[in-house]
Amino acid sequence: AQKITQTQPGMFVQEKEAVTLDCTYDTSDQSYGLFWYKQPSSGEMIFLIYQGSYDEQNATEGRYSLNFQKARKSANLVISASQLGDSAMYFCAMREGGFGNEKLTFGTGTRLTIIP
């Protein structure tokens, strides 16, 4: 089974609207971390937000928030008030296990296009 599943290969969203990018994960570990990265057309990978499995509150970073639903094993990224500069590939990633395991497994990504 895929450890990280991003079911939306592409999304088109009107500027200023909110957008939700889906991510589901599969792990039997109790301790894990979930990450979102942005990859614009220029190619760099930019870290956006992190959620730990024991974090009780959903993570937020500026216009980014992570809708963490542990029982459903989902970690959706929400971007509020989308901007043209948000057009990019977005990757969800997971780190499993506790201290000492630093490997990230990435999903296949969602290409987000913001329409003016």
Partner 1 sequence: DAGVIQSPRHEVTEMGQEVTLRCKPISGHDYLFWYRQTMMRGLELLIYFNNNVPIDDSGMPEDRFSAKMPNASFSTLKIQPSEPRDSAVYFCASSNTYSAQFFGPGTRLTVL
Give the footprint of partner 1 on this chain (CB under 8 A): 33, 35, 37, 43-47, 50, 91, 99, 102-104, 106, 108-109
Q: Considering beta carbons, is residue 44 or 56 the nearer one to partner 1?
A: 44
**Residue 13 vs 93, nearer CB to partner 1:** 93
**Nearest distance in Å: CB 8, partner 1:** 15
Closest contact distance (angstroms) between CB of 106 and partner 1 is 4
What the block records as the tokens of 99 is 């201290």
**Closest approach of partner 1 to the CB of residue 9, in Å:** 12
> In terms of CB distance, is 74 or 105 closer to partner 1?
105
CA nearest neighbour of 66 among 82, 80, 86: 80
Rounded CA separation 15/42 (Å): 21
Name the E strands within 40-109. 46-52, 60-61, 64-69, 74-79, 88-96, 105-106
Contacts within 8 Å (CB) and 24+ apart, 60-64: 64/36
Question: In angstroms, what is the minimal distance from the CB of 93 to partner 1?
Answer: 8
